[in-house]
Structure formats: C-alpha cells, structure tokens
Amino acid sequence: MLALGAALFAAPWTASAQHGSGPLNEASYTLDVHVVLPRTLRMSAEVRYVHRATAPIAGLWWHVYPNAFRPGSLFLRTMPNAQHRGNSPGSMGTFALQAIGLDTGAALLDAPWPTTDDDATELYTPLPTPLRADQAITLRTRFEWTLPDSFARSGCGGDFCFVSQFFPKLAVLESNGQFAHFALHAQSEFYADFGRYELNVHAPTSVQVFGPGTLTRVSNTHHRFVVHRAHDIAFGFGPRLQTLSATTAISSPRDGEHQQISSRINVNIIHTSRDVATAHRALEAISRALPILERRYGLYPYRTLTVVVASQRAAGVGGMEYPGLITLDPDHPLTPRWVRTTEYVTVHELAHQWFYGVIASDEHQHPFLDEGLTEYATGVVMQELYGPLSLGNLGEVGLGFWAMQSAFAAISPDRGPLERSADSFGSFDAYAATVYRRTASLLHTIELQNPRATERALARYARDQRWRHPAPADLLAAFAAEPELSRAHAQLSHALASTSDSDFSAAIFQTDHISLRADGQPQEIVTVQTIGTQGQHARQRWNTTTSPSLTLRDTRTAIIDPDQHQALETHRINNAVSRSPRSSLWLLARMANILTWLLRWLGP
C-alpha cells in the first residue's frame, strides 16, 4: 500500500479539455458473469481504454462501488439514521477484487484487494509506462460478489436480484488534468466515460435474466446484452418474471447503431404477476412521454428501453436509471388510481436517459445538472400530459407538479447555492429539496417569464453537450446565447453561486405610501396588482433586479405576485398589504396566501 500511495502522488495531472468541444476518452467493457444461485456472481471483465487527452498519464483511477457495502465504508457512515433513502440495510454480502492487469500479462494489482482500509470504493493502479495521446490499452479484471440484501440500488429481495455498479469502473479524466475519483458518499451517484458495453450472463434456466440493449440468447443459459455509446450497464434475474412488450412509433433514427437504423423503440417492461397494473401504467406513460422528450432534448439514443418494476421485497432498487434501462417501484396497494405516482417516477427515470444518460455531467460534483434538470423536464412532461393538476386529481381537486415543487423547496431549511457536490449534503431530504426541487422550481420560474427562449436554451444545451461531460458553465453558456434570457442568466448564476432563496414583502410606509421590497435571489420581473385610492384596479411589472425596493403612492392595496409565478419564494404571507379601509381583494389575497402556505406541508 505504501508503494501504491507513492505512485499516486507521483502521477502527473495535466490533460486537455474533456468538457464542451474537447476530446473524450473512451472506455468499453466486455463483462462475463456467472450466476451461482441464490446470489453469488463470479465475474471477469475486459476493458479497452483509449486515451484521447494530449498529456500522458502514469496510472488509472477506478471506482469500485460494491465496496460501499463493506463495514466502515464512507457510504454506510454517511447514511442518516443508518438508512439509504428510507431503506434499512440487511445482509451486506461480500465483494472481492481478485486481479487487475494488462493483456500483456503485467499485473497492476497485487491480489487480494481491498485490505483493511475504511473505504475501498476507489483505487489507483500505476501503469508500467505512461499512456500517451491516442494510445489504447486493454485491461483485464477478475472479481466476485455475493450480493447484499437490496436497500440501495443493488441486491436481492427474496429470489429477485438486481445488479448495478457491480464491476471496477474507470474514472473520468477531467479538463483540469485530474481524474474525477471519489469515495462513494450516501448522497452520491456516478460518473463514467462513454463506450461499448457487452454483458454476457450465464445463469441457470430456473431464472429469467433481463438487461438493456440488444439481447441475444446464445443458449438457454447464456444471455448477451449489447449497448453502444453508454457509460454503464445493469441487469437482474429472478424466477416467474413476466414481460410486457410494445413498440413505440418514433420517426427518427437512433444514435449509435448506424448499421441497423430503426424508426421504432422497443419497450420491454419486466414485472411480477402482482404488478401487471403498474407495468401497463408505466407503458402508457412512456409511449406518451417519449415524443415530448425527443422534441425538446433530442433523440432517445437506443433502439430498446427496458423497464424493471422491482419486486415488492426489493426495497431500494426501484427509481433508478441506467443507459437503456430504468427501474420503478410497484404501486402501493392502498394508492388510489387517480394518484399518478407511477407516472411521475416513470417520466422522471425516462428523462434521465437524457440528463446524465447522453448528457453525461458529473453526478457527484454537479448533481443539479443531473437531478435538477431531470426533475424540471419531468414537470414539463407531466403538465403537458396531465394538465395543471398533474400529480393527481379527483374532479377539480388535486395536486399540481409545480405546486409540490414550490412547497418542498419553500419548507426546506437549506437556502444555499444550487451548485454543490453531493457529499456536501447531510441527508437525502436536504439533497432533494435543493438539487431536485429548487433547481426545477427556478427553471420553471424562468420559463414562465420567457417560455420559448427557455426551451431554446435547454434544447441548445442538450444538443451541444450530447455525448459529452458538461459542466455548469456549459448550461450558463446556453442561456447566455439567448438575448431574451440575459436577466435569467444572471438569476441562474446567482442561484448557482450564492443563494436560490427569495422573499418579497409589502408594508405600509408612513401614512400614504406602500413600500415593496425584494430580498435574496433577484427574481427579475414580478407582477404587482394594486387598487388605487379612488378604487381603480391596475397591474404593473416590477423589475426587482434593478429596483429591489419600490414605493407606491396613491395606492390603497398592493399584492405581489398575485399569480404565484415566483416558485422559490419562501414566505408568501407578507405579499399583500392594504391601507385602511381594507378592501375585500386584500382579504382574499391574505386568505389565499395563508392557504398556500398551509398546502406546502402536503405532498407525495
């Protein structure tokens, strides 16, 4: 281990850009998995790595995510209340990385590994000679994993097993010349280069095997899955599984498979017999959401989409995304049909096929580019499909997506910037409120003010950063390219670097004036509704960026943001004020603001 540490500090850290228009390294994997029931996997991998950067590198960093389940790992230590997103661990299983070497026979790792380190989710292996620009090497690894009980993305629940992040994976070499390596934190997700993935699963005939991409059954026990231009692969197996299949008609060719251009996407939904209803609801949502997401963010990249409805006993497996494969939780038996939980999760995971799928930002360092943009895209689709009460309605009563986002963003005690690494959050609730809710709410606020320009900016970002590793600067550049979004660009920049919080207040000033004030995040143009001293009704636009305070003369009543377009405002109860005598409009506004504040404590 001392020699390993010395090699680490001796490694050079210079390379050309990997973001934007810079070159991208390639990492392709051929994985061979033998399933030994009930839950042991004996595996090997061949990795072809192409170094596209100009400066040489002396070694490689690896992510070894299965070691997150080892006692003492950072992942387990940083789980609030010893739970991962509400799920408690059971059996941790065991993982052994047995060998890493070059195809020349040179060993890069002295087996076995890891030793007694507290955390072993990252590993550095020096190379015998530096790897130079446009050179390719082939590496071989051997490893074995007895799967844990499912509670965090991977593992088994009864005889249903889902397997993700199961192999040593090369870290991304960044534009600053450093590898993006990190120990896996409880709030972290993943990051990798693009390449071709071939997965060969050898399993007994008593289980069905499922995975993404093109499936070839080499024999009754040998299943091969291939995904082109991907950064990950996952699979699973279990007995008595059913498949609901359909073909969606999309009139565009798929990316990455030029030899077999298809104008249709095959959707395969894997489920148990008790989850037939969930499978049908998911299929309907996907068939309706795919055209909207393609129209806004570009082509879905693959010819197939595999959807896995996790077993009732496999807690923590559902609600995740991988290239060409998404996972869902089954419907709770007490959830009424008019509550669209399944549709919401389905659309969210489908939107991930774009944000981090083909637009592969660093989920660990810049999670708002992943979950925040995905949650915003989810809201756009849900509202287009189901209307204002998109999360569920019973007649005229229900809950809208953006109302829910605003509510959860507002009640969160975290008012910090959106641009923070995943490991800076102490809990998933804090992570979700900022990264998911506040990012989505901010983008929705910007969209309400300039809908077409906002759609163009995000379409440009998705188009320009397709198959790349964008950073926050790339998103800001897409907004800067739209002249109508100059103030929105400043607003977004402020939210990323400083605070996404805002508060507007109205108060009586002296005896004949009403004073308005904007604090926190500048919100550009805000509507103010007024009643004059002679009873005349009017609306005016208040530029809070250039005038954080505003004095209204000859005004009896003022209501800030009467349409409630400012989604990130945290304290709406002081948005209306009236000088004596009070009007009925002021009273209604007060009642509406109080009701809105109370409703923010409700949600799915």
Q: pLDDT tens for residues 33-65?
A: 999 999 999 999 999 999 988 889 999 999 999
pLDDT for 577 beyond 90? no
The pLDDT assigned to 3 comes to 36
The pLDDT assigned to 451 comes to 95
Instruction: Mean pLDDT check: name the lowest of 114-118, 377-381, 531-535.
Output: 114-118
How is residue 207 annotated by DSSP? S
The pLDDT tens digits for 402-453 are 888 877 777 777 778 999 999 999 999 999 989 999 899 889 988 988 999 9
| Distance of alpha carbon 329 from alpha carbon 134, whole angstroms | 43
In this structure, which amino acid lies at residue 301?
P
Instruction: Mean pLDDT check: name the lowest of 204-208, 300-304, 359-363, 563-567.
Output: 563-567
The pLDDT assigned to 522 comes to 53
pLDDT for 15 beyond 70? no
Contacts of 320 (CB under 8 A, 6+ apart): 153, 164, 326, 327, 349
In this structure, which amino acid lies at residue 346?
T
Pick the more confident residue, 537 or 199.
199
Segment 11-20 mean pLDDT: 38
- Count CB-CB contacts under 10 A for residue 122: 18
Reduce the DSSP state of residue 311 to 3 states and report it: coil
Segment 241-253 mean pLDDT: 79
What is the Cα Rg of the chain in Å? 26
Question: Environment class of residue 266 by beta-carbon count within 10 Å: exposed (0-12), middle (13-18) or buried (19+)?
Answer: middle
Most confident by average pLDDT, 301-310, 493-502, 543-552: 301-310
The pLDDT assigned to 332 comes to 81
pLDDT for 72 beyond 80? yes
Q: Is the bond preceding residue 367 a cis peptide, omega within 30 degrees?
A: no
| Distance of alpha carbon 130 from alpha carbon 107, whole angstroms | 15
The pLDDT tens digits for 541-560 are 888 878 888 888 888 888 88
CATH topology of domain 502-599: Immunoglobulin-like (2.60.40)
How many residues belong to the chain? 604
Contacts of 122 (CB under 8 A, 6+ apart): 61, 62, 63, 64, 171, 181, 182, 183
The pLDDT assigned to 67 comes to 95
Instruction: Indicate the CATH number of 194-330 among 1.10.10.10, 3.40.720.10, 3.40.50.300, 3.30.2010.30.
Output: 3.30.2010.30
Same fold, 194-330 and 502-599: no
The pLDDT assigned to 280 comes to 96
Most confident by average pLDDT, 152-161, 241-250, 439-448: 152-161
Instruction: Mean pLDDT check: name the lowest of 68-77, 368-377, 462-471, 593-602.
Output: 593-602
Question: Can you read off the two tokens belonging to residue 238?
Answer: 């279990």
**Do 361 and 461 form a contact (C-beta atoms < 8 A)?**
no
Instruction: Mean pLDDT check: name the lowest of 46-50, 255-259, 504-508, 532-536.
Output: 255-259
- Count CB-CB contacts under 10 A for residue 54: 14
The pLDDT assigned to 31 comes to 98
Reduce the DSSP state of residue 345 to 3 states and report it: helix
Question: Can you read off the two tokens belonging to residue 129?
Answer: 């000679």
The pLDDT assigned to 23 comes to 62
Q: Which residues pair with 202 in a beta bridge?
A: 34, 222
pLDDT interval class at 252 (50, 70, 90): low
The pLDDT assigned to 395 comes to 84
Q: Domain spans of the chain?
A: 1-193, 194-330, 374-497, 502-599
Segment 140-163 mean pLDDT: 97
The pLDDT assigned to 586 comes to 47
Q: What are phi and psi of 587, to 5 degrees?
A: -65, -45
Pick the more confident residue, 600 or 490.
490
**Interior angle at CA 528, CA 545 and CA 505, nearest 5:** 70
What share of the chain has pLDDT > 90, as a percent? 63
Contacts of 552 (CB under 8 A, 6+ apart): 513, 514, 515, 516, 528, 530, 558
Closest CA to 492 of 503, 479, 483: 479
Report how far apart, in Å, the C-alpha atoms of 171 and of each of 49, 183, 353 are.
11, 11, 20
pLDDT for 260 beyond 50? no
How is residue 173 annotated by DSSP? B
Closest CA to 513 of 573, 543, 557: 557
| Distance of alpha carbon 1 from alpha carbon 84, whole angstroms | 31
The pLDDT assigned to 376 comes to 97
**Do 431 and 425 form a contact (C-beta atoms < 8 A)?**
yes
**Do 531 and 537 form a contact (C-beta atoms < 8 A)?**
yes
pLDDT for 368 beyond 60? yes
Contacts of 528 (CB under 8 A, 6+ apart): 516, 539, 540, 541, 542, 550, 552, 558, 559, 560, 561
pLDDT interval class at 221 (50, 70, 90): very high
Question: Environment class of residue 123 by beta-carbon count within 10 Å: exposed (0-12), middle (13-18) or buried (19+)?
Answer: buried
Q: Model-level pTM?
A: 0.86
| Distance of alpha carbon 233 from alpha carbon 243, whole angstroms | 20
pLDDT interval class at 603 (50, 70, 90): very low
| Distance of alpha carbon 393 from alpha carbon 580, whole angstroms | 40
pLDDT interval class at 22 (50, 70, 90): low
Reduce the DSSP state of residue 519 to 3 states and report it: strand
Pick the more confident residue, 559 or 343.
343
pLDDT for 143 beyond 80? yes
Q: Is the bond preceding residue 38 a cis peptide, omega within 30 degrees?
A: yes
The pLDDT assigned to 597 comes to 45
The pLDDT assigned to 263 comes to 60
What share of the chain has pLDDT > 70, as a percent? 84
Please, what is the angle between helix 472-480 and helix 451-464, to 10°? 130
How is residue 355 annotated by DSSP? B
pLDDT for 18 beyond 80? no
Contacts of 484 (CB under 8 A, 6+ apart): 450, 453
Cβ contacts of 125-132, under 8 Å, gap ≥ 24: 125/59, 125/60, 125/62, 125/100, 126/4, 126/7, 126/11, 126/58, 126/59, 127/57, 127/58, 127/59, 127/60, 128/102, 130/12, 130/56, 130/57, 130/58, 131/49, 131/51, 131/56, 131/57, 132/51, 132/56
Pick the more confident residue, 123 or 508.
123
The pLDDT assigned to 516 comes to 83
Segment 498-517 mean pLDDT: 69
